[in-house]
Structure 1
Amino acid sequence: MSVIELNAISGKTVLPLPACDICIVGSGPAGTTLAQELSNTNLRVTLLESGGMARDPLMDALDEIDNVGRPRAGDQWSVRNRIVGGSSHTWGGRCGPFDAIDYEERPWVPYSGWPIDGADLEPYLARTASHLGLAFGNGYNDERFWAIANRQRPTPDLDPAILIPFFWQFSRDTEEAYPYEYMRFGRHVAKRIGPNVTLVTGATAQSVHVSASGDAIRGVRFTAADGSQQVLAASIVILCCGGVENARILMNSDETKPHGVGNDHDQVGRYLMDHLRGSVATFSLPGSDALQKRFGRYNVSRHFFRAGFRLSPDIQRREQLLNCAGWLGEVLAKDDPWDALRRVAGRTPKLPQDLFNIIANSNLLVRGLKDFLGAKNGVPRKLTELDLQCMCEQVPNPDSRVTLSERRDRLGMRLPRVDWRSHSDESRTMRRMAELAVQELPKAGLPAPKLEEWARDGAEIPSTFVDVAHPTGTTRMSTQPSHGVVDANCEVHGVSGLFVQGSSVFPTAGHCNPTQMIVALAVRLADHVKAKHPYREPVLVTAHARFA
């Protein structure tokens, strides 16, 4: 892999880039996976990244949004990263596939239904393991977990007609010194990407360039940090910039059509979803040991899994609920010895306090080593609070959307105007999940939680439940152009060679973290591109063209 760092080039003229067959815009999990899957082929691939190898406040500023809807995270770095590796710099490593019901057209969920189903993605989920550092790519997040982990299923357990066990797997980068570091895609990009790929940093994509008729891709217009512009010619362009930025780029591509590319039916930017996540109930710490073991961390093949539960499809259908999952939320004590031990092992101790915490809590460390090495569980932590955290899918709503603001960033691109909305069914679902936990946990011999005030009183989800970096649905997949932006292969309706990747193509959000699904779709798209778009000469565009 060759690297061109535009931020390191002085002057006002952008270095001309070689024409390519495929331009991938964005080097996060989707973009880097595509680059890896397309490596060592006869296709000339360029991977464009707005940021550089290190975080830069000037790049961070380009993620500013004009928020006019439900409160969102104030620090955009916590949810969007302009840097090689993208959002993998701040993700929590939690992985899991969608449930079968998530793909269905559900009469009680407007605009639900995918043009593909779980069987279509099953082989690609298996192939995500190497990209994400997983022990298993699929087949681990339901009853099959107990066989994989070589354990007996706990008895009594939850009633599967109401609450079904679910297991999230945590990404692991086995090449890092800390044994449970998550996969950060930018760290190993140089050795995992082939010689046919060129990484270009400091190149902020602003629009896609299409043919005069608007039905075929021609390239990408990007801007360097100094404001210099260039058009990179490409026969195939794949946008991998996240749920906000993918829509922003398409709407800003107004050279041939005033409302942007792929937007003939005013679908770009609509159906913005995220995940509403927060506490629905609390547990008393005394007497919670069995609960923490059953729904804690499991060590399987040197990979961590976290146990939880989700609403069964039966109860979703019967009560017209959305999909929702729950797990134990832990608030660590300031003197938790495992945090102190990790800092000491990583040679970043806070002395003398860390040594004092380790000695004062040595009994917890001994118990933890027994659990970790013997029972193959996660280590017990010193807690101050224990609650039931829930994460719920959102109702696809065409009025929850990203549009373009009149405000512009320093490169002259209009800011995304974000009008993120919530629906009463989301509050109803999370309240019902809390009630079912109170009802069902004691039947399994576990303590019942106490409902949070908002859940007990039938109130709406608190405004403190902000987005969790899962912007979804703004370039949704559909069979008809009037119902979405991309087709089942993630190609923009009516624009040959223009593809979109990431959670922005999801028609529904499910209850689960999206990264494994994103990577599975990227692997699937790479296979499609290699099969359907063999090598061909790109249409050349003048290197320093400027678009209106």
Structure 2
Amino acid sequence: MIIDLNSAQNSSVRKQYDVCICGTGPAGITVARVLAKQGKKVALFEGGDLEYSEISQSCYDGESIGVQYWDAVRTARLRFFGGTSNHWAGRCAYFDEVDFEQRHYFGLPGWPITRADVFQHFDAACSILDISKDAFQASHKSKWKGNNFRFSESTLSPPTRFGTKYYSEFKESSKIDVYINANLTNISLNDNHDAATSFEVRNYSNQKFFFQARKYVIALGSIENARLLLNCDKQVNTGIGNQNDMVGRCFMEHFNVNFGRFISDDSPIWQHGGIQLNPSEDLIRKMQIGNAVLSFDINSTPASYGRLRVLKQTIRESICKSDSLTDISRNFVDFDCPGDGIISSLIEQTPNPDSRVFLGAEKDMFGLRRVKLDWKINAADNKTIRTLGIEAAKEMARIGLSRVQLADFILDESIDIREYGLHAHQMGTTRMSEDPKYGVVDKNLRIHGFKNIFVAGSSVFPTGGGTNPTLTVVMLSERLGHHLADEH
């Protein structure tokens, strides 16, 4: 059933569950549904309402003090039923084998689980995301002729809005109680400080409710997972799971860097407007770089209107016949030619302990300290960006598909990369690790040093891979749900 905590009475609220889960995005909802199917009684908490509200969203206000992160601390996240799936674009792709390898040049241990451990939940994740498991196709049907890149494989979800899709199921469920306007403000611990005993939850009248369970799951997204754990400092002054000062560290994004421009040839490859490429796993290992997707996007013929339309078209045809990216007239006139294109990207960031989420002094309406994000980029990230640009240009030239004009900062390391851009893929902050010194949760997503507190979502990623995270988040959440159901 669905219960509005703003109008609920303490006496009418069930407070004993098998598992309490905070967060109703793809991670939290997936874990809850797996548990319910296994007969477990679940409480699922959402700080917002069924629809967007400013009072809820304001809890996400924070400050960016590192590399410019625009307003994404607040706007990249949504705080109502369904979470950030409410503005998810829907692209689904999977991590490569190399993403799960121990890439020692990153400086920190990688995933303590294998790709196979995650991919045993691939079919279930595809069903959840409303995609066919056979729908993953390369960005072009022909075989890539180069050695250092390959066509990307991906597909698009409708996209799935988790709150909309599962509302009726939860409303009728006898196993899942969904609490809306239910803000988790503290996790109470036992006397040994190694297990949770209750969730402290408040409505917008600041009325407190306490919920107990055998196990507890935090699924609030990368920034908020760290923020909550750090704010739970009443019994452990460093915050829950932060005994090694790792909560909030290794915040990662996917860079969106404009590599430059290109002129395509008349190959059929370009007939559909562009291609997407991944670096080969051998290139990643050899060059010791991160993973990525490079998008070669073709411009269509720009439209012209008004009295200058005919003149502009005549000039365009003349200039475009020059067949040179460096022709001064192309750079002078404010249009691109058909067949011209730009190279955009989605690039993996190195896990960097100095790139972090921490607490500021300002507090929200519940007395929880707000976040500060210190997003940092290091030399290894710049190496990945420049290496990918140069290698992609070489490969295109070798196979004769296009001529590439790389941005000056790709070729000249003395020139700063002008804009890193971002994809609002927030990852890291409670990273998975075998050794507690290098992370926050173990391979089963249990917080190191705690018996019954687990974390779900992309915050547990030790590395970010070179693709969109949602499919992997759902597979990991399926895995966590089954682990919680099977564990005694």
Bin for the TM-score computed over the shorter chain: 0.7 to 0.9
The residue number in structure 2 matching 1:476 is 431
Residue 37 of structure 1 aligns with an amino acid whose one-letter code is V
Give 1:23 shift: 0.9
1:112–1:169 CA distance, 2 compared to 1 (3 A): farther
Deviations, residues 468-527 of structure 1 (Å, cap 9, x unaligned) = 222211111111222211110001112111100111111111111110000000000111
SS across alignment from 1:448: strand
Which residue of 2 is the match for residue 271 of structure 1? 250
Q: In structure 1, what is the equivalent of residue 161 of structure 2?
A: 184
**Is residue 427 of structure 1 aligned with residue 424 of structure 2?**
no
Aligned to 1:402: 357
Partner of 2:276: 308
On the 8 A contact 2:273/2:297 being kept in 1, the answer is no
Shift in CA distance, 320/333, structure 1 to aligned 2, threshold 3 Å? same
Could you report, residue by residue, the CA deviation over 1:175-213 in whole angstroms, capped at 9, with x for unpaired residues? xxxxxxx11111122234442001111111122222121
Give 1:275-314 correspondences, 5 Å limit.
Answer: 275-284=254-263, 290-293=268-271, 296=274, 308-314=276-282
Q: Is the 8 A contact 1:248 1:404 kept in 2?
A: yes
Amino acid at match of 1:525: L
Give the whole-Å Cα distance in 2 for the aligned partners of 1:312 and 1:223. 49
2:422 match: 467
* 462 and 195 in structure 1: CA distance in 2 versus 1, 3 angstrom threshold: farther
Matching residue of 1:501: 456
The aligned counterpart of 2:310 is: none
Q: CA RMSD in A?
A: 2.7
Query: Contact 2:409–2:418 (CA<8 Å) still a contact in 1?
Result: no
Sort the Cα spacing of 1:329 and 1:39 in 2 relative to 1 into closer, same or farther, 3 A: farther
CA contact (8 A) 1:105 1:113 kept: yes
Residue type of the partner of 1:195? S
Q: Deviations over 1:2-36 (max 9, x none)?
A: 011224x299x796443211111100010111122
Question: What residue identity is the alignment partner of 1:28?
Answer: G
Q: CA deviation at 1:328?
A: 3.0
1:10/1:127 CA distance change after superposition, 3 Å: closer
* Residue identity in the other structure for 1:327: S
Indicate if the aligned counterparts of 2:16 and 2:212 stay in contact, CA closer than 8 A: yes
Query: Can you list the C-alpha shifts for 1:146-172, whole angstroms capped at 9, x where unaligned?
Result: 8xxxx5x34xx3323x11222121112
Alignment deviations for residues 236-257 of structure 1 (CA, whole Å, 9 cap, x no partner):
1111111110011111111211
State TM-score, norm by structure 2: 0.86
Q: In structure 1, what is the Cα distance between the partners aligned to 2:134 and 2:361? A: 44
2:324 is the alignment partner of 1:324? no
Residue 198 of structure 2 corresponds to residue 214 of structure 1 = no
- Whether the aligned pair in 2 keeps the contact of 1:50 and 1:204 (CA below 8 Å) is yes
Instruction: Tell me the secondary structure at the aligned position of residue 425 of structure 2.
Output: coil
Match status 1:136 vs 2:126: no
Aligned 1:106-117 pairs, distance under 5 A: 106-117=103-114
Does residue 440 in structure 1 map to residue 395 in structure 2? yes
**Structure 2 gap segments, 5+ residues each:** 305-336
Q: How does 1:41-60 map to 2 (within 5 A)?
A: 41-60=38-57
Give the structure 2 partner of residue 238 of structure 1. 217
Matches within 5 A, 1:84-123: 84-123=81-120
Cα offset, 1:403, TM superposition: 1.1
Q: CA 1:262–1:76 in structure 2 vs 1: closer, same or farther (change >3 Å)?
A: closer
For the residue of structure 2 that corresponds to 1:449, the secondary structure is strand
1:17-96 maps to which residues of 2 (within 5 A)?
Answer: 17-76=14-73, 78-96=75-93
Moved more, 393-402 or 72-81: 72-81
Match of 1:170 among 152, 156, 162: 156
* Structure 2 Cα separation of the partners of residues 463 and 438 of structure 1: 19
| Preserved CA contact (<8 Å) 1:112 1:508 | no
CA distance in 2, matches of 1:323, 1:75: 23
Is residue 21 of structure 2 the alignment partner of residue 4 of structure 1? Answer: no
The residue type equivalent to 2:363 in the other structure is R
**Aligned residue pairs, count:** 454
Question: Do the aligned partners of residues 55 and 123 (structure 1) sit closer, same or farther apart at CA in structure 2, a change above 3 Å counting?
Answer: same
Q: Once the 2 structures are TM-superposed, how far is the Cα of residue 235 of structure 1 from its aligned partner?
A: 1.5
Q: Do 1:78 and 1:469's aligned partners in 2 also have CA atoms closer than 8 Å?
A: no
SS class of match (1:433): helix
The aligned residue for residue 308 of structure 2 is none
Q: Quick one: distance in 2 between partners of 1:90 and 1:118?
A: 28
Deviation at 1:288, TM superposition (A): 6.8
TM-score using structure 1 length? 0.77
CA distance in 2, matches of 1:521, 1:331: 38
Q: Quick one: which of 192, 201, 205 aligns to 2:180?
A: 201
Q: Give the residue type in structure 2 aligned to 1:5.
A: D
Alpha-carbon distance between aligned partners in 2 of 1:465 and 1:332, rounded to the nearest angstrom: 26
State the match for 1:159 in structure 2: 146
C-alpha separation between the residues in 1 aligned to 2:278 and 2:358? 33
SS of residue in 2 equivalent to 1:189: helix
